[in-house]
């Protein structure tokens, strides 16, 4: 049996659509789980574990799961020791630096030398700006990052933007695009060798599903 880490949150719905299209019909049940954190899918001999998206690499690299799905934003931040098998092209969003509208009106990013940024992505943020000669002091948060500029914790944030509604709702505007992100299928390195046939079967099912869903758009 394969143990498969499924991230809760924004990726879940499109991921379930992909799994169902790929023939894992039982995956529909992932949308109606309440307290349960485990779901079995007999068709592919799978056991799904529902975890926080930033914990997916820990489960997989630590051998608790054979494979799973996680955002490329999390992979870039954590650089975990695992195999990235395919870009599933679901859960697409961008990582951006944003600030309050009032600041953006007079701000000039081309002359920044040192900035203070609140973010869930301190490593990606540091790396991005260091390469551009800007020193960054990061304030690491685990969520609701949009509140930081409002209460003066940091004037700028680096966060994921999908529809842009959360930024707008909090008077923030995007100023710099850092990277595009999407969900990746990843595998534990040892499991990839020892359970190659089973992992390959699932990989091919998901790849086929991705192609057929893209063709329908
Ligand atoms: C992300 C991100 C923003 C929001 C952006 O959080 O941190 O807060 O989504 O989405 P929008 O552009 O469509 O408004 P998420 O909901 O993934 O939750 P998290 O804070 O728990 O990571």
The DSSP H or E segment spanning 74 is helix 72-78
CA angle 31, 13, 209 (to 5 degrees): 115
- Hey, do 2-91+182-216 and 93-180 end up sharing a CATH topology, with the first three levels equal? yes
- Tell whether ligand 1 has an atom less than 6 A from the beta carbon of residue 160: yes
- Tell whether ligand 1 has an atom less than 6 A from the beta carbon of residue 169: no
- Tell whether ligand 1 has an atom less than 6 A from the beta carbon of residue 202: no
Does the pLDDT value for residue 217 go beyond 70?
A: no
pTM of the predicted model as reported, rounded to 2 decimal places:
0.95
Residue 213: pLDDT band with limits 50, 70, 90: confident
- Tell whether ligand 1 has an atom less than 6 A from the beta carbon of residue 164: yes
Q: If you measure from the C-alpha of residue 161 to the centroid of ligand 1, how many angstroms do you get, rounded to a whole number?
A: 7
- Tell whether ligand 1 has an atom less than 6 A from the beta carbon of residue 168: no
Strand 2-7 relative to strand 46-51: parallel, antiparallel, unpaired? parallel
Residue pLDDT, tens place only, 149-167: 999 999 999 999 999 999 9
Q: If you measure from the C-alpha of residue 132 to the centroid of ligand 1, how many angstroms do you get, rounded to a whole number?
A: 26
User: What pLDDT is stored for residue 1 in this prediction?
Assistant: 95
Assign domain 93-180 to its CATH superfamily: Periplasmic binding protein-like II (3.40.190.10)
Tokens coding 8: 């809760």
Residue pLDDT, tens place only, 33-88: 989 999 999 999 999 999 999 999 999 999 999 999 999 999 999 999 999 999 99
**In the β-sheet with 93-100, what is the strand arrangement from edge to edge?**
135-140, 114-119, 156-161, 93-100, 172-181
Selected from 3.40.50.2000, 3.30.465.10, 3.40.190.10, 3.40.50.300, the CATH number assigned to the domain covering 2-91+182-216 reads: 3.40.190.10
Domains in the chain: boundaries: 2-91+182-216, 93-180
Residue pLDDT, tens place only, 20-41: 999 999 999 999 998 999 999 9
């Amino acid at each position: 049996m394969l143990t498969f880490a499924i991230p809760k949150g924004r990726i879940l719905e499109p991921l379930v659509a992909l799994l169902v299209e790929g023939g894992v019909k039982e995956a529909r049940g992932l949308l109606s789980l309440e307290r349960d954190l485990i779901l079995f899918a007999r068709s592919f001999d799978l056991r799904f574990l529902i975890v926080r998206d930033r914990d997916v690499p820990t489960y997989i690299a630590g051998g608790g799961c054979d494979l799973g799905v996680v955002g490329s934003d999390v992979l870039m931040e954590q650089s975990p020791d695992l195999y990235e098998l395919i870009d599933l092209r679901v859960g697409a969003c961008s990582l951006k630096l944003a600030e309050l509208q009032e600041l953006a009106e007079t701000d000039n990013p081309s002359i920044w030398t040192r900035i203070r940024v609140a973010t869930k992505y301190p490593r990606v943020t540091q790396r991005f700006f260091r390469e551009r000669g800007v020193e960054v002091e990061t304030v690491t948060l685990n969520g609701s990052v949009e509140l930081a500029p409002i209460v003066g914790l940091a004037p700028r944030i680096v966060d994921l933007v999908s529809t842009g509604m959360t930024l707008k709702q909090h008077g923030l505007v995007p100023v710099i695009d850092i990277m595009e992100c999407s969900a990746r299928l990843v595998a534990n390195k040892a499991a990839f060798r020892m359970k190659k046939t089973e992992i390959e079967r699932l990989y091919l099912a998901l790849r086929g599903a991705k192609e057929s869903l893209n063709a329908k758009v």
